[in-house]
Structure 1
Amino acid sequence: MEDDIWADRAFYDDGEWVHWSEIEEQVRFKEWGAKYPNARKSLIPYFEELLSLAEGYHMETGLHLNVYGDIGELYGAITHGLKLHKTYAQGSDGRLGNDFIEVKTITPFKQKDEVTVKLTGNFNKLLVVRINENFEVSSKLVDRQSLPKTKGDFVRVKWSDLEPVLEAAQ
């Protein structure tokens, strides 16, 4: 019984035990910070756990949870420093400096790598986050002005057609 207490301890340093999980977390945070200088490190565990949950659920059941939009927004907050609006705010999903950002997520089960964007929203930039069938995540941030012109309220945007202002990949 007493041996179990010490099983997850890494080493004793400066008067306290340091766990391997703490070391691994610090390394992950440094990696995210090195890739993404604006990274909101406090959101990384939520992003990783939610993505892992979605992947595990899919592997176990063959079904998908309805969490990919949240994963996309968290990814934008972490990688681009997006300040998210309150849930169900109208017009955009967050701010990046003076820009309002709309986040759209391409899910791993989509047949086509494209999103539909409602043009009546109040946003200056579009962040498209793609989660592929291997649950790898990447994103492209584009200016609204670069979206295809249309007379309707909606436009379909293909991942391959996006010329990013700033691109992020994990």
Structure 2
Amino acid sequence: MGPDDAFWEDGEWVSWDEIHQQIQYKEWRAKWPNADLSLVPVFEDLISVAEDYFLATGRHLQVYGDIGELYAAITYGIRLHKNFAQGSDGRLGNDHIEVKTIAPMNTKDQTSVKLSGHFNKLLVVNISEEFEISSRMIDRASLPKTSGNILKIRWDDLA
């Protein structure tokens, strides 16, 4: 490393890549104050790959559930459980969170949740046809009552 790709500061060379990364982390921290910043580039890359694949092929990758869980971890600070953990997808403080994702190809803008799971909050992540992401969290006690074990939730009903 030398003068072409770095500068001398306080007795050491500092690369422009390091400066760029520090600026990027400050922007991410401002946007996602609760995030594990190591997950942000993975999330951004995954949503970009899903969109690029759709634009190139007209087909969807089966990654939207993972994108929703990464979004939950980054946006809310939810600590995700190990893969295939039963009952909920993660924790936020003392709350067990179930994350459900509405994928861009879901024309009904709805998802289903198993009520047998051990969760006390439901986070629904909506990925629009334009690959824009939004979310809504609801207490389990506020979910509509149903006689079955599966509850269908429409995005508009969560407003």
TM-score by length of 1: 0.84
Say which of 77, 85, 92 aligns to 1:89: 85
Residue number in structure 1 paired with 2:55: 59
Q: Structure 1 residue 33 and structure 2 residue 29: aligned? A: yes
Shift, 1:13, TM fit: 4.2
How many percent identity over aligned positions? 57
Number of aligned residue pairs = 153
Q: Structure 1 residue 78 and structure 2 residue 74: aligned? A: yes
Structure 2 segments unaligned to the other structure (5+ residues)? none
Shift, 1:49, TM fit: 0.6
CA contact (8 A) 1:40 1:79 kept: no
Shift, 1:152, TM fit: 0.4
Question: For the residues of structure 2 that align with 1:31 and 1:112, how far apart are their CA atoms?
Answer: 34
Residue number in structure 2 paired with 1:101: 97
Deviation by residue 1:3-30 (Cα, 9 ceiling, x = unmatched): xxx6xx4x524223213x851x444432
Question: For the residues of structure 2 that align with 1:59 and 1:32, how far apart are their CA atoms?
Answer: 26
Shift, 1:112, TM fit: 1.2
TM-score by length of 2: 0.89
Question: For the residues of structure 2 that align with 1:108 and 1:22, how far apart are their CA atoms?
Answer: 36
Alignment CA distance shift 1:114-1:83 (3 Å) = same
Say which of 50, 64, 67 aligns to 1:68: 64
What is the root-mean-square deviation of aligned Cα atoms in Å?
1.6
Structure 1 segments unaligned to the other structure (5+ residues)? 1-5, 164-170
Shift, 1:150, TM fit: 0.4
Residue number in structure 2 paired with 1:17: 15
CA contact (8 A) 1:51 1:135 kept: yes
Say which of 46, 53, 69 aligns to 1:50: 46
